[in-house]
Amino acid sequence: MQAYPWIRHYDEGVPASLEPYPDMTLPQVVAGHAEAVPDEKALLFKRAAVSWSELDEKSTRLSKALGAKGIVKGDRVALIMPNTPSMVIAELAIWKLGAIVVPMNPLYTEDELKDVLRECGASAAIVLSPFYRKLQEVRKHYTFRFVIAASVAYDLTFLTRALFRLFKEKKEGHRISLVQGDMWLSELMESEHAGHATNIEAPLPDDPALFLFTGGTTGRPKCAVCTHKAMISSAMQISSWFKVVLKDTRPVVLLNMPLFHVYSQIGVFGVALVEGYPSAPVPNPRDLDDLIATIRKLKPAVLPGVPTLFNALIAHPKVRNGSNVLGSVKLSVSGASPLILETKKRFEALTGGHIIDAYSLTEAMIASVLTPIHGMYKEGAVGIPAPDVVVRILDPEDRHRELVTGEVGEVVMRAPQMMLGYWNRDEESAEMLRDGWLHTGDLGYMDEDGYLFIIDRKKDVIKPGGFQVWPRDVEEVLATHPDIREVGVAGVPDNYQGEAVKAWVVPREECQPDPEELRNFCRQKLAGYKVPRYIELIDALPKSAVGKVLRRELAASHRL
């Protein structure tokens, strides 16, 4: 193996390589835990718990029921739900059929859902009940074979379920009526189909397991295809980093970041799945009171997040009161947007544990660059490549020329778990993946120790609080407002979110649109995290010689 400079900075116990990676599927991983530690907890939710044997049995019943309804190997099944045990069970059930899990953001608007459903070609959907009505509107333009509605009540204990139905079910929009042909997940699990063998074709390690949405270099949603083996390989790499702190314990992993994102699906849940750690799904991490109550009760050792979350916890009265509510947290991972040093120091002081930064992208299936836990910390660096991840810096104008230490160029990476490509987009796949190397579109440099510094993006994606927002989506909505002549959107630094969406608006003659009214206009057409945090009225947009809006100049002009 080549002696890459970053390997000497690995923490003690982190191997230079984990090859060969096992030829296994995700259902085989769960079956292994169900056999080895059947009564150990796999999922923790509110006051309920699911053991590994129960998880294996429930997902098998559901897979057979879905198979009886016509789902076969290669079919795509959309999951439109927040993190719950039902979502995890559904994922495993879909995988056992050799079908493909397509997790979707339940906050998507109807138009956004139509776009992503058409892109992936989902034949069925499982949706949490509060989002069922929205899906009904989508069905006027998109046809499913069937839709399954899930209730959070199914995941609760008997007493908690009764209280939920009494005080919250109707108030929070969970009580709905299904159209003919649709079923409740709980009814399907108990139906005559569940438990009866069907003609199920089990997946192979190199079969697709996940479609994860990304804008890639164009901003239009595309499905990055991840295999079973890729997810397992990536989880093993990250786990080797985690074990520096976690050792050989069975820590509780908080599953508070949304599973429709690669960070949570592979970088957090994947680790818990592969290692047999109990994970605790959190449906709404923005409900800080509930999140803190969950932390206090379950005492997780692993708390993933984004800078927005860590800053919010630092400022929360229940954390600041000296109660040591975060004292169980041994390891936190910050991703999706830059983590500033001050946040790192303050959060580590609260937990007594470690917080590491990480860099990756959906197409890499979380082939990560991470900061060492005990090793050298370099402010501004996003870290060093994980085992079997190789990073190079290429000349953006001549992609065959590798740059020397300290020179700024395009970041490219190679790892065992790269996406297969974009679903049904061969040309864009070939542009992103060349000769086994993933071209990230990000600009950066590596120092003599192999630490990676990201200094700019070729892509204009904005990451407020860890979500992904493409400027064009916001621009197209604002451009339909009658008072707006032109609009440009870019990301700007934000102490709370890490990065925020800002729109620069050129009004039509004799118009003076109100920024708050424009935000309300956006809220009707965009998911909440895409709505601009800042709106500035200007006389003209900076443009190139060919009329292209110069977003970087807009961002550079930002003043609070």
Pairing status of strand 437-446 against strand 409-414: antiparallel
What's the pLDDT at 410?
Answer: 93
Instruction: Please check whether residue 512 lies inside any domain of the structure.
Output: yes
Question: Quick one: average pLDDT of 211-224?
Answer: 79
Instruction: Please check whether residue 475 lies inside any domain of the structure.
Output: yes
- Residue 380 binned pLDDT confidence (cut-offs 50, 70, 90): confident
Question: Quick one: average pLDDT of 220-226?
Answer: 92
Instruction: Please check whether residue 388 lies inside any domain of the structure.
Output: no
What's the pLDDT at 545?
Answer: 43
For residue 418, give Cα distances in angstroms to 13, 64, 183, 199, 502.
Answer: 25, 30, 36, 31, 32
Beta bridge partners of 51: 41
* High-pLDDT (> 70) share of the chain, %: 92
Instruction: Please check whether residue 246 lies inside any domain of the structure.
Output: no
Q: What is the CATH number of the domain that holds 484?
A: 3.30.300.30
Domain total of the chain: 1
Mean pLDDT rounded to a whole number for the chain: 90
What's the pLDDT at 340?
Answer: 77
For residue 180, give Cα distances in angstroms to 152, 169, 392.
Answer: 21, 22, 55
- CB-CB contact of 350 with 510 (8 Å): no
Instruction: Please check whether residue 164 lies inside any domain of the structure.
Output: no
- Asked if the bond preceding 283 is cis, omega within 30° of 0, the reply is no
pLDDT in tens, 12-29: 999 999 999 999 999 999
Cα–Cα distance measured from residue 370 to residue 379, given in angstroms and rounded to the nearest whole number:
13
pTM of the model: 0.84
Domain extent, residue 547, equals 464-556
pLDDT in tens, 424-450: 999 999 999 999 999 998 888 999 999
- Residue 306 binned pLDDT confidence (cut-offs 50, 70, 90): confident
Cβ count near 322 (within 10 Å): 6
- Residue 60 binned pLDDT confidence (cut-offs 50, 70, 90): very high
Residue 422 has pLDDT above 90, yes or no: yes
- Residue 370 binned pLDDT confidence (cut-offs 50, 70, 90): very high
Look at residue 240 and give its three-state secondary structure.
helix
Which residues in 263-289 are b (16+ Cβ under 10 Å) and which e? bbbbbbbbbbbbbbbbbbbbbebeebe
Instruction: Please check whether residue 528 lies inside any domain of the structure.
Output: yes
What's the pLDDT at 170?
Answer: 57
- Residue 162 binned pLDDT confidence (cut-offs 50, 70, 90): low
Of 4, 18, 17, 10, nearest in space to 374 by CA: 10
pLDDT in tens, 508-550: 888 999 999 999 999 999 999 999 999 999 999 987 544 567 8
Burial class (CB in 10 A: 0-12, 13-18, 19+), 395: middle
Instruction: Please check whether residue 511 lies inside any domain of the structure.
Output: yes
Instruction: Please check whether residue 135 lies inside any domain of the structure.
Output: no
Residue 295 has pLDDT above 90, yes or no: yes
Burial class (CB in 10 A: 0-12, 13-18, 19+), 62: buried
What's the pLDDT at 371?
Answer: 96
Question: Quick one: average pLDDT of 458-470?
Answer: 81
Least confident of 25-34, 337-346, 400-409, 474-483: 337-346
More confident residue, 337 or 478: 478
Cβ count near 179 (within 10 Å): 11
Find the DSSP H helices in 222-304: 228-246, 262-265, 269-275, 288-298
Question: Quick one: average pLDDT of 341-350?
Answer: 90
Residue 456 has pLDDT above 80, yes or no: no
Number of H helices, E strands in the chain: 18, 25
What's the pLDDT at 531?
Answer: 97
- CB-CB contact of 519 with 553 (8 Å): no
